Chain A
Amino acid sequence: MIGKKRQPDYKTLTDLELVDLSKDPKFNKEAFGELYERYVTKIYNYVYYRTGNHHDAEDLAARVFFRAMGHIDSYTDRGVPFQAWLYRIAHNLVANWHRDRGRRKIIPLDEFVATRLQSESPDKHAEAKEERTLLLEAIRRLPEERQQLLALKFVENLSNAEIGAIMDRTEGAIKSLYHRTLIALRDELERGSQERREQTRQRKTQG
């Protein structure tokens, strides 16, 4: 019997069930709304750490959801969970953003550092802020896939298997990439540290 469809309890549904309902004209808005609630903060964080500022993070996060809503009919779970599909959209938009604007060296994230360190003394606060700035600068000099891996691992707390689904690699390949990323980051920090020592030495010589 085809009667009036009952509104499901969206919060209890899986992503895949919500995706199916999003394709149904009767339910699509509410179902997509639940998916939006589940992922808006995650996607925002991912984009924020890849762009380094709130303005572009808002703009790109919005584009991710507009694109996802526009293409939801074409999504089918062929081993790629909805979350991974959404992150892939975000990754492509961020990659285009970097390519179009050539803006890789924005130094971000001051306000959350301030929030997190408000209980520390001013000296410690400044030191920790400097340490974070140097680290994030070094990360921005890494290849894109390594930046992506670090953001997914440390901001989103995703497992290697989940990251593998997003980056279309095996869990083993992600482990290996993570190892190489840490080595590259360690070297990058060391190189930055050497450059700063050299600059200080030159300034002293000139002075």
Chain B
Amino acid sequence: MTISDTQMQDLLAALTEALRADDANVDALITQYDAPMREVAPFLALISRLHRSYVRVQPSRRFTRRLRAELLGTPQTDVIARIRYLPARVQIAALVALVAGITMLLTRLRFLLPVPRPQTSDLGLG
């Protein structure tokens, strides 16, 4: 005997809820859905393994405090923090634009500055 896909989906949802809530009454659920144990057992083991493996982690207090300060403190003046959290593509584009701007400025300056002309005496023509 097997159960339908929809019943299995409902049973898996219910089993997951029970395991997450550390409710030991899993057998009752399996009986309620009239599901054969050989079908349910591999899923039950897997859900239990997932439940054990995914454990909530805590961000460091230093990080949460710093981020809160950056978000709510003085974001307008903290240019570095603002740039740091921009998307990578935007950071790269900004960097390229900055380099291009500096290059153009330097090139322009080269043309604007007077180039020293060689003296005729220096050339041995005097």
Q: Which of B24-32, B50-58, B93-101, B117-125 contacts A (4 or more CB under 8 A)?
A: B50-58
**Contact across chains for B53 and A132 when beta carbons are under 8 A apart:** yes
Min CB distance B91 to A, Å, is 11
Asked if B67 is at the interface of the complex by the 8 Å CB criterion, the answer is yes
Asked if B34 is at the interface of the complex by the 8 Å CB criterion, the answer is no
A128 CA to B60 CA, complexed, in Å: 25
**Contact across chains for A48 and B85 when beta carbons are under 8 A apart:** no
Q: Which of A9-17, A28-36, A79-87, A192-200 contacts B (4 or more CB under 8 A)?
A: A28-36
- Of residues B8, B47, B51, B72, which shows the largest number of chain A Cβ atoms within 10 Å of its Cβ? B72
**Contact across chains for B71 and A69 when beta carbons are under 8 A apart:** yes
Query: Given that A61-B59, A63-B85 are contacting pairs, would A40 and B49 also be in contact in the complex, using a CB cutoff of 8 Å?
Result: no
A128 CA to B40 CA, complexed, in Å: 23
A100 CA to B43 CA, complexed, in Å: 34
Task: Determine the residue in chain A with the shortest Cβ distance to B68.
Answer: A36
A160 CA to B42 CA, complexed, in Å: 21
Main secondary structure of the interface of A (DSSP, over half): helix
Asked if B64 is at the interface of the complex by the 8 Å CB criterion, the answer is yes
Please indicate the chain A residues that have their CB under 8 angstroms from the CB of B58 in the complex. Answer: 41
Min CB distance B4 to A, Å, is 11
**Contact across chains for A32 and B54 when beta carbons are under 8 A apart:** no
- What number of B residues sit within 8 Å (CB to CB) of A? 37
Min CB distance B8 to A, Å, is 6
Query: Given that A63-B85, A100-B88, A178-B9 are contacting pairs, would A33 and B72 also be in contact in the complex, using a CB cutoff of 8 Å?
Result: yes
**Contact across chains for B68 and A185 when beta carbons are under 8 A apart:** no
Chain A 46-60, CB within 8 Å of chain B: the 1/0 string?
Answer: 001100001001110
CB under 8 Å from chain A, chain B span 1-49: 5, 8-10, 12-13, 16, 20, 42-43, 46-47, 49
Asked if A157 is at the interface of the complex by the 8 Å CB criterion, the answer is yes
Asked if A7 is at the interface of the complex by the 8 Å CB criterion, the answer is no
CB under 8 Å from chain B, chain A span 164-178: 175-176, 178
Which one of A32, A132, A154 contacts B71 once the chains associate, using CB atoms below 8 Å?
A32
Q: Which residues of A contact B (CB under 8 A)?
A: 29, 32-33, 36, 40-41, 44-45, 48-49, 54, 57-59, 61-63, 65-66, 69, 93, 96, 100, 109, 112-113, 116, 128, 131-132, 135-136, 150-151, 153-155, 157, 160, 175-176, 178-179, 182, 185-186, 189
For the complex of A and B, 7 pairs with smallest distance between CB atoms: A154-B54, A44-B59, A175-B9, A66-B85, A132-B53, A179-B9, A29-B72
